[in-house]
Homo-oligomer: A and B are copies of this chain.
Amino acid sequence: MSDGNTDVPHPDAHMVAAAVGGRLPGRVPTEEYEACPVTHVVRMLGDKWTLLVLMLLAERAHRFNELHRRVDGISQRMLTRTLRALEDDGLVARTVFPTVPPGVEYELTERGRELLVPLSALADWVVRDRAA
């Protein structure tokens, strides 16, 4: 940061600049890279079950056990953690129904559906480009 220039709007200005085609500094500080929101999102998408859960929720809203059944091999623990992470990022909404027994529904938020657009474009490129 600050190579003589005074106006740096965000701590992650460089990554942001990079994202849109700008230049990176001679040396990119670890904190800056780690703090970058783009880094955060890409890391989260790279987590073991995130992509699949997102795809299923893109289809329609699901109950917890419904997801658990559709995702072969996932543990209850990891499904909970994955959903929680998505919820914390505002991509998924959690709704509790005070029935007996209680039911919990997960669905994509508006932001989650928006994310699907560039994400689908990426997936689309991979498919077109012929399996990596």
Contact = CB atoms under 8 A, between A and B. Distances in A.
Interface of A: 10, 12, 15-16, 18-21, 23-24, 26-30, 33, 37-47, 51-52, 55-56, 58-59, 69-73, 89-90, 111, 114-115, 117-127, 129, 131-132
A38 B123 contact: yes
A37 to B, nearest CB: 4
Task: Give the secondary structure class of A's interface.
Answer: helix
Copies in the complex: 2
Contact of A51 (B39, B89, B123): B39
What are the 10 A-B residue pairs with the smallest beta carbon separation, nearest first? A46-B46, A19-B123, A118-B122, A30-B73, A37-B131, A18-B55, A118-B121, A38-B123, A37-B132, A118-B125
Contacts of A122: 38, 41-42, 118-119, 121-122
